[in-house]
A = this chain, B = another copy of it.
Amino acid sequence: MSLRHAVLGLLSSGPASGYDLLKIFELSLANVWPATQSQLYSELGRLADAGFVAVAAEGPRGRKEYAITDAGRAELRHWMTEVEPTPFNRSDMLLRVFFLGELDAEEARAYLRGRAEAADRRHRGLAELREVVAKGDDPLSVYGLMALEWGLRFAAVQRDWAAWAERELDRIRTPEDRREDQG
């Protein structure tokens, strides 16, 4: 139930409407905690019922600006400092690795190669983003930068792991051929 805390976290730096929050979710938070419009509005409703946020102002077009309350801030702090993060999540990429034996050698190689390439593309994309940020064109908070660095390292490790696994696959699958060569 972290959508709730994502919303509280965003509201902790100032009031915003559901629409404003949606923009943030689509941009900076998209890779960390994606959320859709219907999820956001209903979560804001629940948060208001629970007293963690309140409508601070109403604007044109039915706009409602939500502000975090003291109770909300307390809840956020509690989650940040007391609740243990989940160590890891589901990964359909890794799930496929378990079943790679179902494919023939060529297909398995192709899969790992594909993963390495995708990770490499992501790595290059993030590196570019870091360049842009470094030039100061599009400032990012210290914490945004930390998340960016995480993404960069994560992409690199995935790329390198996939390349390693591909070599490993060759090492495993070729002994029979080698024996044939020698026999």
Contact surface of A with B, Cβ cutoff 8 Å: 2, 5-6, 9, 12-13, 28-29, 31-34, 73, 76-77, 79-81, 84-103, 107, 110-111, 115, 118, 122, 141-144, 146-147, 149-150, 153-154, 156-157, 160-161, 164-165, 168-169, 172
Copies of this chain assembled into the complex:
2
Contact A161 B153 (CB under 8 A): yes
List of B residues within 8 angstroms of A142 by Cβ: 101, 168-169, 172
Residues of B within 8 A of A86 (CB): 92-93
Q: Interface majority SS on A: helix, strand, loop or mixed?
A: helix
When distances are taken between beta carbons in the complex, the residues of chain B under 8 Å from A77 are 102-103
Q: From residue A169, how far is it (CB to closest CB) to chain B in Å?
A: 8
